[in-house]
């Protein structure tokens, strides 16, 4: 009987279950949208029980759609939105508060306090991360402070913490397994990047009891089997954060391999193999994955607004009917006519980390049209990506021969050609766009012998299209000069 790998891709906006066959083909997909709650400005929360219900729902839906039986699932791999934090009662399995989403800023006061105490550099040295509410530690602290009796109960061992990988594994195994993998643990701000274990000094600093934390394990191994889900117990054999999963799904297995995901924002990751790099240029270091005790580290840079800028053209300015129309409209003009858009609607991410700055539009004339603004907005995604890519080159000292891309905006040929031109780098778009789920499937399959090696996996990678630089050096320099002027203008403003 043919067997398949099921990937659970638990994201910020939806949960999906995807079945892959041995040739890396997608056999079936089921998806359920999730509701986000915004109780106060800057707060973002989700109902962890809804996430669990959506996971069970899509698992059964994809089997019903495809006619695949539970006995045909060789293993399940889980990839997840990172940093999102849930604390639950060990006995009842009920969360004591909503899950606090990675985007939420409600715990920023804790981070500001530690910055004032001069602890930012120590935290960065131990974890590779910037002191920011983005990461899980301050979110745990917030829940323990704001739910009555939570700190005392946590110290008694009555409460458990998890990111979404841990929460789903615990639920799928009926509470038998409380585990996270190194990639997710490295985003909590509680794990030491050198020892790959929770750090006593950091636990004391945040006053978080060790007993509520999940055990840290490899990203590819059998953690346990499903209980009370299917008639037949299915091994759960991969846990990995979503951006690291996409890097693995893109087969970026060597030092200097880079992928960029064009989503709401952009997430660039570079594999630095066994070498964690402490960035001098606004990037963060974390774990990519660990397989059979062998760790690959990554450098990561986040662009806050990418695809969201195209949505702004559609929903805010209303000069697009659909996001897909942006390419055709941009090609109606020969160039952006000196117009630059800096879409820092929620501040600037890497390599600047200026969360307070606003967006800007520069170089307007009486002859500026909607098409010039659309084209300049598309180009802003490439410019922001280039800023991160250059920081990666400086931090790593590694040459970047090509960048592999995925995400919604990677379907835009004009954007990818301009990206290639402005970075002077080959851009590779893969045939399979679901690289996040594919990465989780690969790691799960490796643990089960479904795929024998990374070399076998790499042999299955299919290129949809390569984009190579067409722009001459003089024009590239002029474009980048204009972009840098625009960046400095919004920083001054």
Residues annotated within a binding site = 12-14, 16, 82-83, 134, 242-243, 264, 307, 311, 408, 412
Please provide the size of the chain in residues: 493
Q: Cα separations (Å) of 305 from 11, 313, 334? A: 17, 13, 25
Residue 479 covered by a domain: no
Residue 284 covered by a domain: no
Pairing of strands 73-80, 4-10: parallel
Q: For residue 28, give the CATH number of its domain.
A: 3.30.420.40
pTM summary value: 0.92
Report how far residue 79's alpha carbon sits from residue 113's, in angstroms, rounded to the nearest whole number.
32
Residue 108 covered by a domain: yes
Question: Does the pLDDT value for residue 238 go beyond 90?
Answer: yes
pLDDT score at 233:
95
pLDDT score at 350:
85
The token pair that represents 479 in the structure block: 């474009």
User: Mind listing the pLDDT tens digit for each residue in 106-130?
Assistant: 999 999 999 999 999 999 999 999 8
Domain count across the chain: 1
Residue 443 covered by a domain: no
Mean pLDDT of 449-461: 93
Mean pLDDT of 438-466: 94
- Residue numbers of the domain that contains 51: 2-240
- What is the percentage of the chain residues whose pLDDT exceeds 90? 82
92-112: burial string, b at 16+ Cβ within 10 Å, e else: eeebbbbbbbbbbbbbbebbe
Residues annotated within a binding site for sn-glycerol 3-phosphate = 12, 82-83, 134, 242
User: Mind listing the pLDDT tens digit for each residue in 353-387?
Assistant: 887 788 999 999 999 999 999 999 999 999 999 99
Residue 426 covered by a domain: no
Report how far residue 235's alpha carbon sits from residue 173's, in angstroms, rounded to the nearest whole number.
10
Residue 416 covered by a domain: no
pLDDT score at 263:
82
Contacts for 16-20: CB closer than 8 Å, 24+ residues apart: 16/58, 16/437, 17/55, 17/58, 17/59, 17/61, 17/62, 18/62, 18/434, 18/437, 18/441, 19/62, 19/66, 19/68, 19/73, 20/437, 20/438, 20/441, 20/445
User: Which comes out higher in pLDDT, residue 212 or 407?
Assistant: 212
Residues annotated within a binding site for ADP = 12, 16, 264, 307, 408, 412
Residue 425 covered by a domain: no
Could you tell me which of 149, 349, 171 has the C-alpha nearest to residue 265? 349
Residues annotated within a binding site for glycerol = 82-83, 134, 242-243
pLDDT score at 243:
93
Residues annotated within a binding site for ATP = 12-14, 264, 307, 311, 408
- The residues facing 79 across adjacent strands are 9, 240
- Are 395 and 277 in contact by the 8 Å Cβ rule? The answer is yes
User: Mind listing the pLDDT tens digit for each residue in 467-479?
Assistant: 999 999 999 999 9
Residue 178 covered by a domain: yes
């Amino acid at each position: 009987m043919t067997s398949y790998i099921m990937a659970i891709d638990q994201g910020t906006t939806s949960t999906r279950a995807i079945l892959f066959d041995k040739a890396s083909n997608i056999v079936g997909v089921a998806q359920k949208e999730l509701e986000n709650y915004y109780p106060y400005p800057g707060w973002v929360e989700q109902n962890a029980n809804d996430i669990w219900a959506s996971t069970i729902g899509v698992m059964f839906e994809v089997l019903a759609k495809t006619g695949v039986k539970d006995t045909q699932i060789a293993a399940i791999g889980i990839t997840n939105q990172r940093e999102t934090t849930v604390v639950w009662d060990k006995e009842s399995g009920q969360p004591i508060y909503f899950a606090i989403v990675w985007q939420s800023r409600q715990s920023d006061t804790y981070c500001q306090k530690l910055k004032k105490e001069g602890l930012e550099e120590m935290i960065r040295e131990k974890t590779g991360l910037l002191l920011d509410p983005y990461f899980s530690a301050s979110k745990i602290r917030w829940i323990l402070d704001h739910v009555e009796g939570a700190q005392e109960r946590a110290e008694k061992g009555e409460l458990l913490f998890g990111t979404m990988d841990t929460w789903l594994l615990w639920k799928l195994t009926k509470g038998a397994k409380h585990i996270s993998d190194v990639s997710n643990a490295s985003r909590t701000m509680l794990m030491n990047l050198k020892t790959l274990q929770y750090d006593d000094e950091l636990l004391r600093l945040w006053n978080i009891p060790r007993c509520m934390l999940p055990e840290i394990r490899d990203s590819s191994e059998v953690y346990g089997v499903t209980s009370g889900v299917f008639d037949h117990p299915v091994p759960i054999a991969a846990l990995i954060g979503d951006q690291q999963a996409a890097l693995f799904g893109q087969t970026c297995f060597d030092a200097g391999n880079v992928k960029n995901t064009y989503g709401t924002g952009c997430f660039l990751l570079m594999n630095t193999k066994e070498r964690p790099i402490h960035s001098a240029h606004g990037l963060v270091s974390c774990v990519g994955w660990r397989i059979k005790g062998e760790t690959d580290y990554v450098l990561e840079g986040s662009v806050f607004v990418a695809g969201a800028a195209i949505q702004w053209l559609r929903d805010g300015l209303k000069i697009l009917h659909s996001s897909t129309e942006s390419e055709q409209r941009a090609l109606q003009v020969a160039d952006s006519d000196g117009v630059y858009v800096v879409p820092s609607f929620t501040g600037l991410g890497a390599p600047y980390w200026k969360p307070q700055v606003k967006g800007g539009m520069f170089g307007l004339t009486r002859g500026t049209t909607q098409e010039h603004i659309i084209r300049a907005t598309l180009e802003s995604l490439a410019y922001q990506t280039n800023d991160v890519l250059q920081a990666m080159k400086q931090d790593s000292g590694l040459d970047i021969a090509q960048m592999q891309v995925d995400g919604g905006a990677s379907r835009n040929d004009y954007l990818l050609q301009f990206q290639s031109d402005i970075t002077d780098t080959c851009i590779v778009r893969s045939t399979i766009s679901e690289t996040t789920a594919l990465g989780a499937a690969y790691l799960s399959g490796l643990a089960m012998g479904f795929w024998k090696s990374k070399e076998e996996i790499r042999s299955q990678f299919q290129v949809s299209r390569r984009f190579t630089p067409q722009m001459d050096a003089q024009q590239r320099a002029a474009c980048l000069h204009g972009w840098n002027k625009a960046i400095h203008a919004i920083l001054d403003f």
